[in-house]
Chains A and B, each alone.
Chain A
Amino acid sequence: AQKVTQAQTEISVVEKEDVTLDCVYETRDTTYYLFWYKQPPSGELVFLIRRNSFDEQNEISGRYSWNFQKSTSSFNFTITASQVVDSAVYFCALSENTGTASKLTFGTGTRLQVTL
């Protein structure tokens, strides 16, 4: 069974600090997708990134960057120069590919608090 671990339950930083959210996953599939979602206080899930298991290139989008390392089964998310608007719960998720069933397996989330 697949599993996603976000060991950091809560992180608190001061604005403009860099912060990295850790995500470690387990799967027996060779083909899978990894995701990060943001959940602001309003409650909706905001899609941030999807990464195919065959694509290990790191990605940067503005202040956000992602480091995918298959060797360590990790897909970490870094926010550079954090802002108060980054305060949210962040979920890492893994998509299974069994051919007969499909689901996203989510981590338990990391609550990020950015203060002035």
Chain B
Amino acid sequence: EAQVTQNPRYLITVTGKKLTVTCSQNMNHEYMSWYRQDPGLGLRQIYYSMNVEVTDKGDVPEGYKVSRKEKRNFPLILESPSPNQTSLYFCASSLAINTGGYTFGSGTRLTVV
């Protein structure tokens, strides 16, 4: 089944403790991105990747890192999480930019206390 898999689905952590949210897709998509969803703000792009080893900032990149060492994986790294990063996170992939065919993961609900 074609899908984007995020893990974990839920995570509660403490301020400053490094964490990684994994994202993996099995569709050989070139393009992957991360979004965060906050009440009243919709979804905002954090980072995106056009292909392996090619990443760039989205609208809200502060406090996040990403890497794209393999085509299928695009982890989101929070080196020192803070409470303002409490949010619902989505990973998405598509075959190429602006093809209109985005596939989203199921989301990761992160709480930083």
Would A108 and B42 count as touching, CB distance under 8 A? yes
Known: A96-B98, A102-B48, A103-B33. A91 touches B43 (CB 8 A): yes
User: Which of A44, A50, A106 contacts B43, CB < 8 Å?
Assistant: A106
User: Which of B41, B88, B104 contacts A108, CB < 8 Å?
Assistant: B41
| Chain B 40-72 near chain A by CB (<8 Å), digits 1 or 0 | 111111001010000010110000000000000
Residue A19 interfacial (CB < 8 Å) = no
Would B45 and A103 count as touching, CB distance under 8 A? yes
Q: Enumerate A1-55 residues with CB–CB distance to B below 8 Å.
A: 4, 9, 31-33, 35, 37, 43-45, 47, 50, 52
| Chain A 91-116 near chain B by CB (<8 Å), digits 1 or 0 | 10101110101111011110000000
Which chain B positions have C-beta within 8 A of A44?
104, 106-107
Which chain B positions have C-beta within 8 A of A96?
98
Binding site for B on A (CB under 8 A): 4, 9, 31-33, 35, 37, 43-45, 47, 50, 52, 91, 93, 95-97, 99, 101-104, 106-109
Binding site for A on B (CB under 8 A): 31, 33, 35, 40-45, 48, 50, 56, 58-59, 88, 90, 92, 94, 97-98, 100-102, 104, 106-107, 109
Those 7 A-B pairs whose CB atoms lie nearest each other, nearest first: A102-B97, A33-B100, A106-B42, A97-B98, A106-B43, A108-B42, A103-B45
